[in-house]
């Protein structure tokens, strides 16, 4: 059976070669992004591994006997899941490889924003001795954290932020309310999150139901002292509306690791605002996360090609209908 890697950004794929090779499967790797170039390379694949390449309906339509498409990562928005489902192809991901890293990143952003560290440092370097540049500043213990989503990552965020004594709310239509309350988290609706939170941290996948979940009207409902952090997917927040809200002073600041268009243009306004901490979609990164991701992708490929159900399949429900 043939496994094709369309693209990757790692130093090597030694782990994938070893795991897939030891199972008796052939592995071919490329760095291909264009549809016309990709189709002949993946046409006969039994499994496709992709990182950033667009595995579109056009590509999927040409697959002869593919059993699975797996993403190096969590979000599968570069894979046409509907088209894959129509052909009976599993769409898989690795949802747990970087949960510690992403939750750490979100917490770091909130702590830095809450203390206005980037504003304070800039003012200090420019000769301002004192704290006037950060006014007003509030005690963390007196603040409310609102989590949009309550899966693996936001649960870790809640656990880590609980040590600072914040009141923690969570909005998730699929939330296990008993589990949330056992963690000291109060399940609420999105309106309550927007209205009452001092920090809003976004942790939902990007799909038709969540695109621009946080938009222009959402920012108008927030406190003017609120900070918004997004380490999920750029399209969950209407980026234009976020910029407008920041410019209008409707919110106090933002921490952004993901964007509606990636890579980000150097003239994106979010990169030039003193009250924004912007990072280049790297919240997931640590050396441990990379090695874990590569290993788990290879293990999932072997698992499926050996005739087993995938460990993590985003379209399992649709395939079983």
* 281 assigned to active site: yes
Q: Which of 186, 211, 212, 281 is catalytic?
A: 281
How buried is residue 189: exposed, middle or buried, by Cβ count under 10 Å (0-12/13-18/19+)? Answer: exposed
Residues 76-89: what's their mean pLDDT? 96
pLDDT digits (tens, 9 = 90+) for 55-74: 999 999 999 999 999 999 99
Count of domains for the chain: 2
Whether pLDDT at 321 is above 80? no
* 186 assigned to active site: no
Please check whether residues 302 and 228 belong to one and the same domain: no
Please check whether residues 138 and 83 belong to one and the same domain: no
Residues 227-246: what's their mean pLDDT? 97
pLDDT digits (tens, 9 = 90+) for 3-14: 999 999 999 999
Residue-range definition of the domain harbouring residue 137 = 99-278
Q: Which of 28, 37, 262, 272 is catalytic?
A: 262
> Residue 108 forms beta bridges with which residues?
none
Q: Return the CATH number at 263.
A: 3.40.50.720
Q: Which two tokens stand for residue 59?
A: 């590509």
Q: Which of 203, 233, 239, 300 is catalytic?
A: 233
Tell me if residue 83 falls in helix, strand or coil.
Answer: helix
pLDDT digits (tens, 9 = 90+) for 248-266: 999 999 999 999 999 999 9
Residues 299-315: what's their mean pLDDT? 97
279: number of Cβ within 10 Å: 15
pLDDT digits (tens, 9 = 90+) for 166-219: 999 999 999 899 999 999 999 999 999 999 999 999 999 998 899 999 999 999
Please check whether residues 72 and 156 belong to one and the same domain: no
Please check whether residues 126 and 244 belong to one and the same domain: yes
Q: What is the pLDDT of residue 320?
A: 82
* Rounded-to-integer distance, Cα 207 and Cα 159, Å: 27
> Residue 214 forms beta bridges with which residues?
237
Please check whether residues 104 and 251 belong to one and the same domain: yes
**pTM (2 d.p.):** 0.89
Give residues with Cβ within 8 angstroms of 235, minimum separation 6: 77, 206, 210, 211, 212, 260
* 203 assigned to active site: no
Whether pLDDT at 106 is above 80? yes
Residues 36-40: what's their mean pLDDT? 97
């Amino acid at each position: 059976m043939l496994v094709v890697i369309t693209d990757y950004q790692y130093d090597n794929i030694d782990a994938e070669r070893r795991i897939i090779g030891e199972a008796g499967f052939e592995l071919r790797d490329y760095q291909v992004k264009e549809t016309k170039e990709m189709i002949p390379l993946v046409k006969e694949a039994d499994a496709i591994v992709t990182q950033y390449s667009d595995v579109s309906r056009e590509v999927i339509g040409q697959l002869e006997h593919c059993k699975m498409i797996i993403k190096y990562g969590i979000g599968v928005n570069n894979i046409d899941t509907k088209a894959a489902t129509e052909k009976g192809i599993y769409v898989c991901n690795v949802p747990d490889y970087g949960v510690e890293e992403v939750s750490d990143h979100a917490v770091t952003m909130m702590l830095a924003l809450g203390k206005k560290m980037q504003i304070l440092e800039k003012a200090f370097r420019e000769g301002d001795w004192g704290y006037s540049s950060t006014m007003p500043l509030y005690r963390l213990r007196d603040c409310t954290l609102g989590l949009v989503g309550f899966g693996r990552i936001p649960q870790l965020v809640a656990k880590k932020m609980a040590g600072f004594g914040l009141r923690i709310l969570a909005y998730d239509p699929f939330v296990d309310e008993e589990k949330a309350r056992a963690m000291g988290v109060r399940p609420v609706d999105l309106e309550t999150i927007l209205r009452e939170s001092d920090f809003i941290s976004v942790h939902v996948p990007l799909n038709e139901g969540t695109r621009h979940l946080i938009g222009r009207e959402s920012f108008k409902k927030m406190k003017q002292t609120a900070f918004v952090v997004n380490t999920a997917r750029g399209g969950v927040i209407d980026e234009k509306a976020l910029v407008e809200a920041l410019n209008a002073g409707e919110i106090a600041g933002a921490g952004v690791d993901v964007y509606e268009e990636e890579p980000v243009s150097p003239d994106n306004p979010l990169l030039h605002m003193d009250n924004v901490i912007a990072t280049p979609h790297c919240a997931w990164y640590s050396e441990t996360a990379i090695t874990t991701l590569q290993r788990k992708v290879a293990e999932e490929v072997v698992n499926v090609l050996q005739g087993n159900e995938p460990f993590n399949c985003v379209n399992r429900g649709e395939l079983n209908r």
